[in-house]
């Protein structure tokens, strides 16, 4: 995939050229340090599975990755995060207003790339993905701080936060590839399942790993009052009125901020069966995603997509 990904990188770097050298350098650093490129790889593979137009797929893949990058910039601004992957965020250099505008600029550039495919359905999928991402962020802001939230509420939130763009990337690729309609649906479902598993594993890593591995302290979501599935599963195992449960509720409410107290809760979650149970939730999404790959006619591409499923669950960051 490297030749295609190199072309994606070129288009990404071209899209972040601005007239302000300091801003451009930071944007280049963000793009060049941009993680695993799973979403563009997924789009490229979905198109390749059906012999899609390579240049159109590369353009769309760059648009998807830029949309992802813009959403991360907005997330960091909302969360007031100073670090991402151990690297200073734009928040550490600019006002919140400037950071939002930079994110908006990247959203616009990503839309330009989607439109440059000349494919109205790709543009529609792109717009739908953006709306779903915004819905996920709204749910994160308004609903994520309830310890007693339902599993359905959690799943809707992480779908918008993460899985929607995986689903959109796979669907765009399949459409560009000229896949039959049933295959387009299955590949969109594959992307959604992959994205859900990816976010559940993220939530597990947040509690299982520490700063050296994931670039932020263990339990960072909990410290910010965001309830994830391992915390939900652990809290559900505690009796109503339990002292540990009350402590978790205090942390979520922002009333308890001591690092020692949070670290103590993290250790209790690690010692419980909450993380293995959350891992089984991720595994169930992986099993569903793997079944959907029966529609992919090319064996080599199908194997690469299966490799993406393995990566989603065995990664450590």
Q: Are 221 and 135 in contact (CB under 8 A)?
A: no
At 99 the pLDDT is 81
The helix (run of H) or strand (run of E) holding residue 155 is helix 151-158
3-state DSSP assignment of residue 24 = helix
At 207 the pLDDT is 95
> Quick one: tokens of 114?
């989607």
At 316 the pLDDT is 65
At 279 the pLDDT is 96
> How far apart (Å, rounded) are the C-alpha atoms in residues 171 and 40?
12
**Judging by beta carbons within 10 Å of its beta carbon (0-12, 13-18, 19+), is residue 42 exposed, middle or buried?**
buried
List per-residue pLDDT tens for the chain, 317 residues long. 899 999 999 999 998 888 888 878 878 887 887 678 999 999 999 999 998 789 999 999 999 999 998 888 877 666 666 555 556 666 667 777 888 888 888 899 999 999 999 999 999 999 999 999 999 999 988 999 999 899 999 999 999 999 999 999 999 999 999 999 999 999 999 999 999 999 999 999 999 987 666 667 789 999 999 999 999 999 999 988 899 999 999 999 999 999 999 999 999 999 999 999 999 999 999 999 999 999 999 999 999 999 999 988 887 66
pTM: predicted TM-score of the whole model, two decimal places: 0.91
At 24 the pLDDT is 84
At 45 the pLDDT is 97
At 80 the pLDDT is 63
Does domain 2-314 fall under CATH 3.40.50.12780? My reply is: no
> How far apart (Å, rounded) are the C-alpha atoms in residues 279 and 4?
33
At 21 the pLDDT is 85
**DSSP of 265-311, one letter per residue?**
HHHHHHHSSHHHHHHHHHHHHHHHHHHHGGG---HHHHHHHHHHHHH
At 86 the pLDDT is 57
For residue 14, what are the contacts with CB-CB under 8 A and spacing of at least 6? none
At 38 the pLDDT is 94
At 57 the pLDDT is 97
- The per-residue b/e assignment along 121-140, b for 16 or more CB within 10 angstroms, e otherwise, is ebbebbeebbebbebbbebb
> Quick one: tokens of 236?
């559900």
């Amino acid at each position: 995939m490297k030749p295609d990904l190199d072309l994606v990188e070129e288009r990404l770097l071209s899209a972040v050229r601005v007239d302000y050298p300091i801003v451009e350098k930071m944007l280049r650093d963000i793009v060049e340090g941009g993680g695993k490129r799973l979403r563009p790889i997924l789009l490229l593979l979905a198109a390749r599975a059906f012999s899609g137009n390579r240049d159109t797929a590369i353009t769309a893949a760059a648009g998807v990755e830029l949309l992802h990058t813009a959403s991360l910039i907005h997330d960091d601004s909302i969360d007031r995060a100073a670090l991402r992957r151990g690297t200073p965020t734009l928040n550490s250099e600019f006002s919140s207003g400037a950071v939002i505008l930079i994110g908006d600029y990247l959203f616009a550039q990503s839309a330009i790339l989607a439109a440059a495919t000349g494919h109205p359905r790709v543009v529609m999928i792109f717009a739908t993905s953006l709306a779903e991402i915004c819905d996920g962020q709204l749910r994160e802001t308004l609903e994520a701080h309830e310890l007693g939230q339902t599993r359905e509420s959690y799943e809707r939130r992480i779908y918008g936060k993460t899985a929607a763009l995986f689903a959109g990337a796979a669907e765009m690729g399949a459409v560009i590839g000229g896949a039959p309609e049933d295959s387009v649906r299955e590949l969109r479902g594959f992307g959604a399942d992959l994205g859900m598993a990816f976010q559940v594993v993220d939530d597990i890593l947040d509690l299982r790993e520490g700063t050296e591995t994931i670039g932020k302290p263990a339990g960072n979501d909990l410290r910010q009052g965001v309830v994830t599935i391992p915390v939900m599963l652990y809290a559900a195992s505690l009796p109503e009125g339990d002292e540990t449960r009350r402590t978790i509720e205090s942390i979520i409410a922002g009333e308890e901020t001591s690092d020692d107290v949070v670290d103590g809760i993290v250790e209790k979650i690690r010692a419980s069966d909450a993380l293995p149970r959350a891992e089984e939730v991720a595994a169930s999404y992986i099993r569903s995603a793997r079944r959907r790959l029966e529609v992919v006619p090319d064996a080599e591409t199908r194997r690469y997509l299966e490799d993406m499923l393995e990566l989603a669950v065995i990664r450590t960051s």
